[in-house]
Amino acid sequence: MITIAEGVDPRWVRSVTTPDGTWHVLDNASVLEREPIGTLLCVHGNPTSSYLWRHVIAALSTGERPWRVIAMDQLNMGWSQRTGRRRLGQRLDDLGRLTDALEIEGPVVTLGHDWGGCISLGWAVNHRARLAGVSVLNTAVHQPPGSALPFLIAAARTPGVRRLVTATTPIFLRATLAIAHPQLPARVQAGYLDPYRGASRRGGIDEFVEDIPVDASHPSWPALQHIVEGLPSLRDLPALMLWGPRDPVFTDLYLRDLRSRLPQAKVHRFEKAGHMVAEDADVAGAVRQWLEDEVVPGILGSPSVTSPTTGPDTSAAEKLWAPLEQHEQDPTAVLVEPTGHGNAQTGSFRVTSWQQLAADVHRVATGLLATGVEPGDRVALLVPPGADLTVALYACVRIGAVAVIADAGLGLPGLHRAIRGSAVRHVIAIDRGLAASRALRWPGQRISVGVPSGSLRARVLGVTAALEDLARSAFSELPAAPAADDEAMVIFTSGSTGPAKGVVYTHRQLAGVRDALLSAYGLRPDDRFVAAFAPFALFGPALGVPSVVPDMDVTAPRTLTATALAQATRALDATVIFASPAALANVLATAHELGADDRAALAGVRLLLSAGAPVPADLLGQVQKLLPRAELHTPYGMTEALLLTDVDLPELLAAGAGDGVLVGRPLPGVEIRLHPLDLDDEFTDKADVTGEIVVRARHLKERYDQLWYTQRATATDDGWHRTGDVGHFDADGRLWVEGRLAHVLHPASGFVTPYGVEQRIQTLPGVERAALVGIGPSGTQQMVAVIEAPFSELGVAAPELAASVRSVAGVDLAAVLVIAALKTDIRHNSKIDRVAVGRWAARQLAGSLS
Residues 361 and 222 in one domain: no
Same domain, 365 and 233: no
- Which of 574, 604, 634 is the last residue before a domain boundary? 634
CATH of the domain at 788: 3.30.300.30
* DSSP summary character for residue 696: E
Query: What's the pLDDT at 821?
Result: 87
- What pLDDT shows up at residue 849? 46
Q: Same structural domain for residues 422 and 280?
A: no
Range among 146-150, 324-328, 475-479 rated most confident: 324-328
Given 612, 634, 656, the domain boundary residue is 634
Task: Please state, as a whole number, how many other Cβ atoms lie within 10 Å of the Cβ of residue 18.
Answer: 17
Number of domains present in the structure of the chain? 3
Distance CA 692, CA 694 (A): 6
Predicted pLDDT at 305? 58
The predicted pLDDT at position 308 comes to: 46
Q: Is residue 543 part of a domain?
A: yes
Q: The sheet that has 529-532: what strands, in order across it?
A: 349-353, 333-338, 547-548, 529-532, 576-579, 607-609, 631-633
Query: Pick from 316, 500, 340: which is nearest to 406 by CA?
Result: 500
Residue 11: partners with Cβ closer than 8 Å, 6 or more residues away = 28, 30, 31
Measured between alpha carbons, how far is 290 from 239 in angstroms, rounded to an integer? 9
Give the per-residue pLDDT at 662.
94
In a 13 Å sphere around the CA of 630, the CA atoms on its Cβ side amount to 28
Residues 6+ apart with CB under 8 A from 281: 242, 244, 270, 272, 273
| pLDDT score for 379 | 97
Q: Which of 300, 332, 348 is the last residue of a domain?
A: 300
- Which are the contacts of 396, defined by CB distance < 8 A and separation ≥ 6? 365, 368, 373, 379, 381, 402, 403
Sheet holding 735-740, edge to edge: 636-638, 641-646, 661-666, 735-740, 721-729, 691-696, 671-676
Q: Give the 3-state secondary structure of residue 453.
A: coil
Distance CA 61, CA 353 (A): 65
Tell whether 281 and 339 lie within a shared domain. Answer: no
Distance CA 772, CA 837 (A): 9
pLDDT, tens digit, for every residue of 42-99?
999 999 999 999 999 999 999 999 999 999 999 999 999 999 899 999 999 999 999 9
What confidence score (pLDDT) does residue 846 get?
A: 87
383 and 344, same structural domain?
A: yes
Q: Do 274 and 384 fall within a single domain?
A: no
Q: How far is the CA of 360 from the CAs of 395, 499, 525, in angstroms? A: 8, 35, 22
Confidence of residue 536 (pLDDT cuts 50, 70, 90): confident
C-alpha–C-alpha distance, residues 757 and 745, integer Å: 11
Percent of the chain residues topping a pLDDT of 70 = 95
Rounded Cα gap, residues 713 and 707, in angstroms: 10
pLDDT interval class at 613 (50, 70, 90):
confident
CA–CA distance, 612 with 639 (Å, rounded to integer)? 9
What mean pLDDT is predicted for residues 357-369? Answer: 96
Question: How many Å apart are CA 102 and CA 23, to the nearest integer?
Answer: 11
In a domain, 713, yes or no: no
Task: Please determine, for residue 680, whether its predicted confidence score (pLDDT) is greater than 90.
Answer: no
Domain presence at residue 381: yes
Asked, for residue 687, whether it belongs to a domain, the answer is no
CATH assignment of the domain containing 336: 3.40.50.12780
Q: Among 356-370, 404-418, 815-829, where is mean pLDDT lowest? A: 815-829
**Could you tell me the CA-to-CA distances from 831 to 384, 497, 541, 780 in Å, in that order?**
22, 9, 29, 26
pLDDT of residue 850: 45
Q: What is the dihedral of CA 402, 406, 412, 414, to 10 degrees?
A: -100
Report, as an integer, the average pLDDT of 192-212. Answer: 95
What are the residue ranges of helices labelled H in 400-532? 411-421, 431-439, 456-460, 467-470, 507-521
Q: Is 214 exposed, middle or buried (0-12, 13-18, 19+ CB in 10 A)?
A: middle
pLDDT at 287: 98
Gap between the Cα atoms of 603 and 635, Å rounded: 22
760 phi/psi in degrees, rounded to 5: -65, -40
More confident residue, 341 or 759: 759
Does 161 fall in a domain? no
Among candidate residues 770, 759, 762, the one with its CA nearest the CA of residue 655: 759
CATH code for position 248: 3.40.50.1820
Q: Which amino acid is at 302?
A: S
pLDDT bucket at 170, cuts 50 / 70 / 90: very high
CA 544 to chain centre: 31
- Average pLDDT (311-339) is 79
For 280-295, give one letter per residue: b (16+ CB within 10 A) or e.
bbbbbebbbbbbbbbb
- What average pLDDT does the segment 414-425 reach? 89
In angstroms, the CA 558 to CA 552 distance is 9
**What's the CA gap between 801 and 764, in Å, rounded?**
9
CA-based torsion, 516, 520, 526, 528: positive or negative: negative
What's the CA angle centered on 125, arms 120 and 131, to 5 degrees? Answer: 80
3-state secondary structure of 28: helix
Please check whether residues 402 and 538 belong to one and the same domain.
yes
Whether residue 379 is found in the same domain as residue 465: yes
Question: Do 845 and 815 contact (CB within 8 A), yes or no?
Answer: yes
Residue-level pLDDT at 346? 46
Q: Which domain holds residue 599?
A: 322-634
Please determine, for residue 769, whether its predicted confidence score (pLDDT) is greater than 50: yes
CA distances 199 to 88, 160, 187, 217, 558, Å, are: 22, 16, 21, 29, 60
**Residue 527 located in a structural domain:** yes
**Is the dihedral angle over the CA atoms 540, 542, 543, 544 positive or is it negative?**
positive
Q: Is residue 231 part of a domain?
A: yes
In tens, the pLDDT along 224-260 reads: 999 999 999 999 999 999 999 999 999 999 999 999 9
pLDDT band at 146 (very low <50, low <70, confident <90, very high): low
Beginning with the edge strand found earlier in the chain, give each strand of the sheet holding 703-704 in spatial order.
463-466, 445-448, 426-429, 378-382, 402-405, 487-492, 502-506, 703-704
291 and 436 share a domain? no
Within a domain: 738: no
Residue 221 and residue 213: Cα distance in Å, rounded?
Answer: 5
CA nearest 129: which of 112, 111, 104? 104
Contacts (Cβ under 8 Å, ≥6 apart) of 578: 529, 530, 531, 532, 533, 536, 537, 609, 610, 611
Q: How confident is the model at residue 315 (pLDDT cuts 50, 70, 90)?
A: very low
Are 552 and 560 a contacting pair, CB within 8 Å? yes
Type of residue found at 96: G
Q: What is the DSSP string of 459-494?
A: HHTTEEEEHHHHTTSPP----PPPPTTSEEEEEE--
Residues 6+ apart with CB under 8 A from 388: 449, 450, 467
What's the confidence (pLDDT) of residue 341? 46
CB of 419 closer than 8 Å to CB of 492: no
Check residues 144 and 570 and name the one with the higher pLDDT.
570
Q: How far is CA 187 from the centre of its chain?
A: 33
**Cα–Cα distance, 805 to 802 (Å, whole number):** 5
d(CA 108, CA 41): 7
498 and 605 Cβ atoms separated by less than 8 Å: no
Query: Span 522-536, mean pLDDT?
Result: 86
Of 585, 581, 623, nearest in space to 605 by CA:
623
Residues paired with residue 721 on neighbouring β-strands, in sequence order: 695, 715
- Which residue type does 796 have? V
pLDDT, mean over the chain: 91
Each residue's pLDDT tens digit, 478-528: 999 999 999 999 999 876 666 889 999 999 999 999 999 888 998 888 999
Handedness of CA 763, 767, 769, 772 (dihedral sign): negative
DSSP collapsed to 3 states, 148-176: CCCHHHHHHCCCCCHHHHHHHCCHHHHHH
φ and ψ at 602, to 5 degrees? -65, -30
> How many residues are listed for the chain in this entry?
850
Shared domain for 361 and 415, answered yes or no, is yes
Helix (H) and strand (E) counts in the chain: 31, 34
* 449 and 557 share one domain: yes
Contact 515, 542 (CB under 8 A): no
Q: What is the pLDDT of residue 267?
A: 97
pLDDT, tens digit, for every residue of 435-448?
999 998 888 899 99
Question: Is residue 326 located within the same domain as residue 285?
Answer: no
Average pLDDT over residues 779-785: 95
